[in-house]
């Protein structure tokens, strides 16, 4: 790619393909793969990523909310789309757009059956979610008979899959907990399938579950962060390629003297004669204020430069006293070498938070 001349998020689709192939190599050929494209495809571009994954042969996609799925359908995405957290008011839109809801409580199941009946649906695909320890969403193990009684009373819906979510699959110190989750899900899903009288797909693993718990691959696996280049461990990160690179430029260089301040609230004051650079990216673009005051950093001409003062809405300032640079030079916020994970760790957060925060006002550029 040419050097950046403005703030851009470069998306490397060849890296995405590499990650897809690597994760695919970890599962049996008969196991399906679901790609998670919620939150604007983890801050990249949901439509482009979904279409590319569709071309690669992904079996399923998943979004968090109905609106995200509708956008994909309107863009021409054809593969099945699971909506992980549907809201009752959106059930008609789900059916109108051939989206498939996660059903996680008796109330949600009852309401969706009612909407499916109202719209004269026959065997509309739904996905039953069990809570096995994340304690976020899902039916409990002892809800099986109640779920069956609701399902047996209608022909408007059919259980396409049964699933759950691992809480700590990346943490091998929590292996006993994870194995208990897998055991509980196996028991609940088998009981539900036996009482349904027909088979349904089962899926449980996230990216780190794919890598660490092959016994939990079942019929399908789900991957989000892995597709975008992070494997939840240092060793796995080496086998994946970060898809997104956030770049900007130096707008202006200032020479300041001892005691002069930089930015709002004068939170940085020079200890001597210093050179600073202003970059056109700020907290409205996803680089939050927590990265300011020496915690965060960027790279210029291969050299690390600390962010100084408070991050502004549209700009941040860096210390380039010891770096040879000029106005217009490219600035790397994160890329495949200087990763989003490393930058996120500087303020005690994770790659997910940093990459999903990149504002949609930042121009996306695709490398194919």
Catalytic residue among 32, 38, 129, 241: 38
Token pair in block for residue 74:
């309107």
Residues 6+ apart with CB under 8 A from 16: 49, 52, 53, 227, 228, 243
Give how far Cα 114 sits from Cα of 121, 157, 179, Å: 10, 10, 37
Catalytic residue selected from 14, 67, 152, 264? 264
How many Å apart are CA 38 and CA 62, to the nearest integer?
7
Query: Would residue 38 show up in a list of annotated catalytic residues for this protein?
Result: yes
Helix (H, G, I), strand (E, B) or coil at 148: helix
Q: Whose CA is closest to 320, among 335, 331, 312?
A: 331
Q: Are 329 and 301 in contact, with CB atoms under 8 Å apart?
A: yes
Q: Which helix (H) or strand (E) holds 247?
A: strand 244-249
For the chain, the distance separating the N- and C-terminal CA atoms, rounded to the nearest angstrom, is 10
Non-local CB neighbours of 118 within 8 Å, separated by 6+ positions: none
Residue with tokens 């006002």: 361
Measuring CA to CA, how many Å separate 15 from each of 20, 217, 323, 355?
9, 24, 30, 16
CA pair distance 110, 122, nearest whole angstrom: 16
Catalytic residues, by residue number, are 38, 264
């Amino acid at each position: 790619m040419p050097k950046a001349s403005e703030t851009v998020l470069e998306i490397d689709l060849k890296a995405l393909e590499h990650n897809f192939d690597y994760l695919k190599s970890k599962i049996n050929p008969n196991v399906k793969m679901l790609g998670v494209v919620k939150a604007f495809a983890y801050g990249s571009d949901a439509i482009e990523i979904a279409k590319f994954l569709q071309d690669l042969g992904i079996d399923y996609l998943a979004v968090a909310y109905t609106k995200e799925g509708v956008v994909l359908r309107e863009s021409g995405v054809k593969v099945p789309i699971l909506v992980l957290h549907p809201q009752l008011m959106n059930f008609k839109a789900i059916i109108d757009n051939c989206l498939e809801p996660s059903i996680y409580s008796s109330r949600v199941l009852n309401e969706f059956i009612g909407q499916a009946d109202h719209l004269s649906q026959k065997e509309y695909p739904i996905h039953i979610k069990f809570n096995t320890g994340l304690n976020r969403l899902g039916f409990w193990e002892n809800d099986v008979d109640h779920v069956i009684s609701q399902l047996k009373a209608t022909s408007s819906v059919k259980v396409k899959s049964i699933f759950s979510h691992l809480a700590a699959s990346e943490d091998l110190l929590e292996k006993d907990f994870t194995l208990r989750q897998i055991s509980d899900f196996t028991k609940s899903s088998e009981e539900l399938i036996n009482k349904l009288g027909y088979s349904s797909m089962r899926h449980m693993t996230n990216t780190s579950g794919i890598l660490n718990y092959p016994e939990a691959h079942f019929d399908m696996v789900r991957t989000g962060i892995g597709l975008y280049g992070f494997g939840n461990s240092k060793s796995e990160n080496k086998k994946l390629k970060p898809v997104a690179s956030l770049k900007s430029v130096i707008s202006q260089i200032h020479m300041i003297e001892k005691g002069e301040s930089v930015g709002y609230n004068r939170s940085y004051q020079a200890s001597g004669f210093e050179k600073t650079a202003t970059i056109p990216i700020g907290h409205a673009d996803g680089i939050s204020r927590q990265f300011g005051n020496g915690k965060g950093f960027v790279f210029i001409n291969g050299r690390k430069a600390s962010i100084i003062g408070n991050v502004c809405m549209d700009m941040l300032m860096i210390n380039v006293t010891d770096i040879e640079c000029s106005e217009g030079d490219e600035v790397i916020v994160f890329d495949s070498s200087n990763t989003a994970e490393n930058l996120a760790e500087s303020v005690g957060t994770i790659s997910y938070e940093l990459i999903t925060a990149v504002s949609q006002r930042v121009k996306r550029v695709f490398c194919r």
